[in-house]
A = this chain, B = another copy of it.
Amino acid sequence: MTEQNRKYLEERLTFWNQITKEEQEILIQNTAVVKYTQGQNIYDAQQECIGVLLIKSGELRTYILSEEGKEVTLYRLSDDDVCILSASCILKNITFDVHVDAEKDTEILLINSSVFSALSQKNIYVEAFSLRLTADRFSDVMWAMEQILFMSFDRRLAIFLLDEMAKMGMDTLPFTHEQIAKYVGSAREVVSRMLKYFAKEGMVELSRGSIKIIDRQKLKKLL
């Protein structure tokens, strides 16, 4: 492991000074640099718990999936976030399964789950670290749940488009209606209908496989 990655580990793992030098060494030796390409599935319910993911750069999307294949996005993590639910086997109190995909090319420091688990059982600071991250994700999920259950769909879609526009730094978003439906947890038909409405209102322009935002102010009024 490079000196830079060691430093990164030390910075992200806030319990670093509460474990022994020996334990630090074990963690370092059981951490790997892993790269995922855009669209790759990183973790799902069928897989063994893969470990704690420290995201150096890129983006991960966590979602749930119904038996019928319906996806609902719970939250996204990006640079310098830590993904803990990919190591949910460590967390006795977490009894549900999620899926994690790379949404962009992503570079990760992956800490082996059994090593992390052993440390977490021995050291309360390590356990508390995982649990605090879990509580953060709980807050993210509650936010998503409120969006999905309470918000009218035009607002949800407007938020999604404006968020993506800001994140990607461009007016034209390279998404199909199908993809948007997945991201916002809706059906393609519902998305298409609302996008057509937005286009009629002069807020967006639709082309095959992309949406151009042409009146940001008007879209913002929906928020």
A binding-site residues for B, Cβ under 8 Å: 64, 66-68, 70, 72, 91-96, 124-125, 127-128, 131-132, 134-139, 141-143, 145-146, 148-150, 152, 185
| B contact residues around A146 at 8 Å (CB) | 64, 66, 96
Q: How far is the CB of A26 from chain B (nearest CB, A)?
A: 21
With the chains together, A141 CA to B95 CA distance in Å? Answer: 11
Interface of A is mostly: helix
Which chain B residues lie closer than 8 Å to A95 at the CB level?
Answer: 139, 143
Rounded to whole angstroms, the CA-CA distance of A146 and B141 in the bound complex is: 12
Extra inter-chain contacts (17) besides given A95-B143, A131-B131, CB under 8 Å: A64-B146, A67-B152, A72-B149, A91-B135, A93-B136, A93-B139, A96-B139, A96-B143, A127-B128, A128-B128, A128-B131, A131-B134, A131-B135, A137-B138, A138-B138, A138-B141, A141-B141
Could you say which residues of chain B place their CB within 8 Å of the CB of A93?
Answer: 132, 135-136, 138-139
Residue of B nearest to A66 (CB): B150
Within the complex, the shortest CB–CB distance from A97 to chain B, in Å, comes to 9
Pair A152/B68 contact, Cβ less than 8 Å: yes
